[in-house]
Structure 1
Amino acid sequence: MAATSNTSTTPVDSVSADELAAKAVQKRYEGLLMVRTKAIKGKGAWYWAHLEPMLVRNADTGLPKAVKLRCSLCDAVFSASNPSRTASEHLKRGTCPNFNAFAKPISSVSPSPTTVAAGTATQTNRKRSSSSVTITATGQVLVASGSGCSYQATPLAIVDPPRSFGELACSPSPGAVMTASDGSLAPQNQHHLVLSGGKEDLGALAMLEDSVKKLKTPKTSPGPTLSKSQIECAVDLLADWIYECCGSVSFSSLEHPKFRAFLNQVGLPPVSSRELAGSRLDVKYEEVKAESVARIRDAMFFQLSSDGWKVRSFASGDRSLVNLAVNLPNGTSLYRSAAFVSGFVPSKYAEEVLWETVTGICGNAVQQCAGIVADKFKAKALRNLENQHHWMVNLCCQFQGFNSLIKDFNKDLPLFKTVTDNALKLANFINITPQIRITFEKYLLHECGSTEFLRVPLRDHESLNFGLVYTMIEDVLNSARALQLVLLDETYKTVSMEDPVAREVAEMIRDMGFWNDLEAVHSLVKLIKEMVQEIETERPLVGQCLPLWEDLRTKVKDWCSKFHIAEGPVEKLIERRFKKNYHPAWAAAYILDPLYLIKDMSGKYLPPFKCLTVEQEKDVDKLITRLVSREEAHIALMELMKWRTEGLDPVYARAVQMKERDPITGKMKTANPQSSRLVWETYLTELKSLGKVAVRLIFLHATSCGFKCNGSLLRWIGAHGHSRVGMERAQKLLFITAHSKLNRRVFSSEEDKDAELFTLANGA
């Protein structure tokens, strides 16, 4: 039994030993790399410029098994156990054929001077036919004579610097070290070398010495050799990366010396920034545009998406970038163009921009455009276009609708005003009163590990930015424990005796109702923000609008119950915002999309008419009759009745509603997102008139969220947008980068990603 036990544990012990040995080798390798890096920067031994650590791996296991040193001059490999001995035996003694032991580069000599007594000589094993003088970076003189001896002397003192480096070697000043062919030495001076440019000259002197060495030993380590096609492919990829970064990488940065050195290191020629910003950009734009036009032409219909009408502040004034994109039935989105607007945007102007974009896409075949979705800057423009063209369905963005709900609560819900005023009073008192602030910082450091102020928003024309108010509320909630401890401190008690505000704030902090209201407001806003973020990420279709608002009502009802808030005022504000955003297409798409069919008692899958109000049922009839011709109106309504009573075959219904778990988010999602439309086009062919309406309705997006331009390009436009050529370049850059991002379904900007990255880094 014991023998069996020992036998079974032996492999584990051996594996453990191998891993420990590999870790030791890896650590030794990393240590040598660190030493070499410091040495190359002038903080270590000279020989590291020529010796490179190598990690040798086991061919079977792949684990590190040894560390070697490779001579970069002749590619010889040595043991790494004693780098100093390797340097002495291989480099100094002349074993390396490409190393001159008597004239080391200045940059490779240790900066600490060596004091040698006058007349001291060091024997070398290498014979030279003539004498020479080498000056180190610290002013040290190395004298080599023809007899094979080299002498090391203290630094020279130069009162009147020679005109050239050659003069320094050939015409020493009085008191300096002298040498003759017989190896005799002259008296030496104990002063340091003084150069006319000071210490900064040492770098230039090192460069000169390196140049001399390159001329004497022209052999260099060969760089990578690329074929012409490989170079062209690499430059194309580089250009694509720069275009798709859309202003984050400037064209002028291509001229940076370090970047040019990088290109040379990997075997690429210098890249012309003028070419990339000119002819190459034009070619790439035409290529991408042709692909986009072809995909739109192949689609039977499309939806125009418009985002960005809200004016933002630019460096050169108030300007806004309006992005115009095309949503296709297969679920893809294509960038179309950008409109740059400034100041107040009249509804009529917006209407003209939208319609010109539609006609620019499909010409006279305007019925190819099934509708428009836009952020709600002016609903009048959308209504006008819909009234003029009966086949269109023009929607307001749900992302904007939910965001506006937060503004509604802040403006019209008394709870928000009470919480804001109380939080402002508390935060201002803590920040402004020195004794209390110091005490608060002490307890905050102990409880939270930070000493930051409570962030307080500034009033702008008697109003407050609620985004900043929300941040202040978060700060107060996170500091709750520290605030409780402040009240118990003697400092606060002393201040409270004279300051009535301190007593009022103390009562507020002790009041559980204050904390309940504070947490209630924070919780409600967080709830809506999470839904807004999900809307932006998922980009729901129009059929999802009614379920979205119903989900919101359910969550808010639970919120009211949890925090003991009256439901009436909150529900009233939600209904008001719902009506402002509501469109009959919400109800129609919800009814016609097989994704929302409900299984009844008989086993049939029927449309969810029972979830609609009476008014919404009427909206479904009105919308369907509007979207078809007058001749087909009664046929479409008869088919709707058939759809209502018969529904869809259970097998097809289950196939449409099949879900699978998203590997990234972990949420359950529809397995075949396009199946709702395809069922109407391929299976429900007997409902011909209703099918025409259904396939156009159920693919429509309910949000205009899409491509986000980064701030770098927006600032560039703000500074150079008045130039016609500059604006054309900006349009082309926007088109290329937006086309790429929409293809990859990347809807965030570089700034958002960087912010998330740094947030994660701080958390780690």
Structure 2
Amino acid sequence: MEAPNTATSVDSASAEELSTKALQKRYEGLVMVRNKAIKGKGTWYWSHLEPMLLHNTETGLPKAVKLRCSLCEAIFSASNPSRTASEHFKRGTCPNVSALPKPISSVGPINIAASSSPSLANNRKRSSAPPSSYHVPTRFCGEVAYTSLPTTATTPHLMLSGGKEDLGALAMLEDSVKKLKSPKTSLAPALSKTQVDNAFDYLADWVYESCGSISFSCLEHPKFIAFLNQVGLPPVSPREFASTKLDAKFEEAKAESEARIRDAVFFQIASDGWKSKNKNHYGDENLVNVTINLPNGTTLYRRTVFVTGSAPSRYAEEILWETITGICGGNVLQQCVGIVADKFKAKALKNLENQNHWMVNLSCQHQGFNSLFKDFAKELPLFTTVTENCIKLANFVNYKSQVRSIFHKYQLQEYGHTWLLRVPLREFENFNYGNMYMMMDDILSSVRALHLVLLEEAFKLVSIEDPNAREFGDIIRDVGFWNDLEALHTLVKLVKDMIHEIETDRPLVGQCLLLWDELRAKVKEWCSKFHVAEGAMEKVIERRFQKNYHPTWAAAYILDPLYLVRDTSGKYLPPFKFLTPEQEKDVDKLITRLVSRDEAHIALMELMKWRTEGLDPMYARAVQMKERDSVTGKMRIANPQSSRLVWETYLTGFKSLGRVAARLIFLHATSCNFKCSWNLWTPLRGHGHSAIALDKVQKLIFIAAHSKLKRQDFSSEEDKEAELFTLANSEDDLFNEVLVDTSPV
């Protein structure tokens, strides 16, 4: 009969041992994080929070881990240090937090004697009186804090008319006296004129390349001037930065850009911004960025056009042709071999192509894939049903106060924090897949909390009187709704990921057919997984494919050695077998259009020779050689320029076809590139688009874009800021996850 009691005692001892280890581990983790923070490698509040390991007075074993405020001795739970710091320090709960003065540079801790004397410094040396009403605790790691000490009869309490803030002024007075008694040279060595000029050049580069994120008026900020003084630099002149320096930097960037264009035999124009994705806070206004793609893979910025409202195709055509003539002049227009623009079904592209037979003008693939979401919304009942139910559900939860409070309660219980369900402003008009995806993501992330709401007695009472609550309950209980939501969420993510890859990789024209084949394969697999009829999906994708298709896709795919296929004889031949009969005809028609009439039959004969002979296996394998990207981990082509260089150097027997191939292979299939910030256009709103202000803005954008494209940096400042804040917010979450993990080692 004793065995059960023995087992119980053993289990109890084991539980106590695990609890002790967990508490000890948590305490050591807090100490480690605090030590790192004190060295400047962590968040600020650890200088004022001290971990404590409390022990049971009877057993002597650890019973809890707490945090103690070193300013007011208050004790807090250690479960969430970040929240504790925010509530205790930032909200003013700590009574002594206001006593933390601003750091005083070059002034050490001082003891102020109570007696008066002409020389405060001499009195401090001679006085044997105890310290005055403040001292510097060493545990604050260099930060000055004040605490009241008891005063004696012989040492009256020092009262200053300005309160504690006077202590800083008194320290500065003593410092001035010390400097007069024993002047010292500046710690920072004097900078030469060359060093100052170089420093200001770097500063100018940073200001200009920030593209409006930093205003010229910031250069006159007192804190920035103090920083310059600290490092030994004189104040800067905002006027100089906005005039002479700006002009010099612009001329330097423009000269480098023009030289690169002159070196290239041909180029492609890329135009992005005609088709606005969202209305900005100024209304329906767009910034159209025009860039230049060179055969060696370099992209150069050309200009930004401010467009109000929906610009007609004729206006777009004029802007593009004006850009071409501005680069080529009137004699060498054939240097521009094509345009890629985001204006889907734009008449401007077709008109320019018809008027100039050597040009290939394409619609952007990024925009083409984005348009699929509108197609889905219009053609697929699943899209409509799920979207309507999601919007009903989200609006009811967000705006019904009783239900929202219940929902937040279970969110906090299940996930540790609360959030509202994001709802797109528009449902299907000007459909925004990003907002739609976020709404579906929020709902799927709250499945458990939404189901628990139905079990709450308060919700049951609401359901009796409110028909919307009953409809809400029916949606939540419907298994079909959740299956359809998961299916639609997966489809949107599938296309969304492909769009992201297109924007990141910026594919060439030869990849277009493969991209759409990849989309078809993924959608077919999706249909099989979620039991959706393939016919409707195939029609939607095929219709969008035909709207976006250009004969250059097939021609570049056939002429690019990257896509040569090895046959049974060992030859590397162009993949004609993967083209439809119509696409084969498109290849012939395009090649004959791009050459002169006298060369047309020669080019077609060379095409037949290319079809039967292909490329030497050694060169074909060299072109198709891949290596792993150190950043993404994906396999990439080792030398992307090899396809074009083979035609220009090795395949010299294909004179007519070679010229066509070299021009087609390098063409980009996307126009998305440099993203211009609206910050630069803000000053123009109050100056009526004055010529002087507009000229300066154009120069700033040119310098910033030239630098970003030179670094191959295609991200926007907004994206970087979002990523930075996401990482900053995740620091404490990750730390708390480590501390909460109390599993035995």
Is TM > 0.5 for Structure 1 vs Structure 2?
yes
Q: Deviations over 1:67-117 (max 9, x none)?
A: xxxxxxxxxxxxxxxxxxxxxxxxxxxxxxxxxxxxxx9984468x97xxx
Over 3 Å counting, the alpha-carbon distance change for 1:383 and 1:461 in structure 2 is closer
Aligned partner of 1:502 among 462, 469, 483: 469
Matched, 1:451 2:418: yes
Over 3 Å counting, the alpha-carbon distance change for 1:633 and 1:191 in structure 2 is closer
* Equivalent position amino acid for 2:457 in 1: E
Over 3 Å counting, the alpha-carbon distance change for 1:592 and 1:149 in structure 2 is closer
Q: Deviations over 1:220-253 (max 9, x none)?
A: 4421333332222222111111111111111121
Matched, 1:735 2:695: no
Over 3 Å counting, the alpha-carbon distance change for 1:340 and 1:209 in structure 2 is same
> Equivalent residue of 1:359, what SS?
helix
Over 3 Å counting, the alpha-carbon distance change for 1:461 and 1:575 in structure 2 is closer
Over 3 Å counting, the alpha-carbon distance change for 1:492 and 1:305 in structure 2 is same
Larger mean Cα displacement after TM superposition, 392-401 or 319-328: 319-328
> Equivalent residue of 1:401, what SS?
helix
Over 3 Å counting, the alpha-carbon distance change for 1:192 and 1:132 in structure 2 is closer
Matched, 1:762 2:729: yes
The CA deviation at 1:493 is 3.2
Matched, 1:517 2:484: yes
- What TM-score do you get using the length of structure 2 for normalisation? 0.77
2:117 is matched with 132
2:264 is matched with 299
1:265 is matched with 230
* Equivalent position amino acid for 1:354 in 2: L
Matches within 5 A, 1:57-76: none
Over 3 Å counting, the alpha-carbon distance change for 1:717 and 1:664 in structure 2 is farther
The CA deviation at 1:631 is 0.2
* Equivalent position amino acid for 1:240 in 2: D
2:534 is matched with 567
> Equivalent residue of 2:651, what SS?
coil
Identity over the aligned pairs, expressed in percent?
66
Matched, 1:420 2:375: no
Q: Distance in 1 between matches of 2:477 and 2:445?
A: 16
1:592 is matched with 559
Q: Deviations over 1:662-685 (max 9, x none)?
A: 110011111110000011111111
1:76 is matched with none
Over 3 Å counting, the alpha-carbon distance change for 1:106 and 1:645 in structure 2 is closer
Matched, 1:235 2:200: yes
* Equivalent position amino acid for 1:724 in 2: A
The CA deviation at 1:718 is 4.2
> Equivalent residue of 1:337, what SS?
strand
Q: Distance in 2 between matches of 1:479 and 1:738?
A: 42
Q: Distance in 2 between matches of 1:717 and 1:518?
A: 45
The CA deviation at 1:481 is 1.4
Matched, 1:331 2:297: yes
* Equivalent position amino acid for 1:630 in 2: R
Over 3 Å counting, the alpha-carbon distance change for 1:612 and 1:30 in structure 2 is closer
Larger mean Cα displacement after TM superposition, 709-718 or 538-547: 709-718
Matched, 1:744 2:711: yes
Q: Distance in 1 between matches of 2:130 and 2:123?
A: 6
Aligned length: 620
Matched, 1:438 2:423: no
Q: Deviations over 1:468-518 (max 9, x none)?
A: 232211111111112222223333333334444333332322222111110
Matched, 1:688 2:655: yes
> Equivalent residue of 1:708, what SS?
coil
2:363 is matched with 396
Q: Distance in 1 between matches of 2:445 and 2:670?
A: 34
> Equivalent residue of 1:226, what SS?
coil
The CA deviation at 1:437 is 2.3
On the 8 A contact 2:268/2:336 being kept in 1, the answer is yes
Q: Distance in 1 between matches of 2:298 and 2:444?
A: 43
* Equivalent position amino acid for 2:287 in 1: L
Over 3 Å counting, the alpha-carbon distance change for 1:762 and 1:25 in structure 2 is closer
Q: Deviations over 1:194-237 (max 9, x none)?
A: 63x66655544543443233222211442133333222222211
On the 8 A contact 1:319/1:718 being kept in 2, the answer is no
* Equivalent position amino acid for 2:197 in 1: E
The CA deviation at 1:256 is 1.8
Higher RCO structure, 1 or 2 (CA under 8 Å, sep 6+): 2
Matched, 1:667 2:634: yes
Aligned partner of 2:324 among 352, 358, 362: 358
Q: Deviations over 1:575-632 (max 9, x none)?
A: 1111111111001000100111111111111111111111111110110000000000
Q: Distance in 2 between matches of 1:150 and 1:760?
A: 53
Q: Distance in 1 between matches of 2:416 and 2:132?
A: 55
1:603 is matched with 570
The CA deviation at 1:432 is 3.2
Matched, 1:637 2:604: yes
On the 8 A contact 2:111/2:131 being kept in 1, the answer is no
Matched, 1:468 2:435: yes
1:526 is matched with 493
Q: Distance in 2 between matches of 1:546 and 1:33?
A: 53
Matches within 5 A, 1:44-63: none
Q: Distance in 1 between matches of 2:563 and 2:519?
A: 18
The CA deviation at 1:762 is 2.7
> Equivalent residue of 1:258, what SS?
helix
> Equivalent residue of 2:492, what SS?
helix
Over 3 Å counting, the alpha-carbon distance change for 1:435 and 1:207 in structure 2 is same
Q: Distance in 2 between matches of 1:403 and 1:332?
A: 26
The CA deviation at 1:559 is 0.7
Larger mean Cα displacement after TM superposition, 425-434 or 463-472: 463-472
Over 3 Å counting, the alpha-carbon distance change for 1:660 and 1:717 in structure 2 is farther
2:507 is matched with 540
- Unmatched 5+ residue regions in structure 2? 1-30, 49-105, 134-152, 732-745
The CA deviation at 1:29 is 11
Aligned-residue Cα RMSD (Å) equals 3.2
Asked which structure has the greater CA Rg, the reply is 1
* Equivalent position amino acid for 1:132 in 2: S
On the 8 A contact 1:711/1:751 being kept in 2, the answer is no
* Equivalent position amino acid for 1:259 in 2: F
Over 3 Å counting, the alpha-carbon distance change for 1:204 and 1:154 in structure 2 is closer
Structure 1 runs of 4+ aligned residues shifted over 6 Å read 24-34, 142-145, 148-155, 187-192, 460-464
2:520 is matched with 553
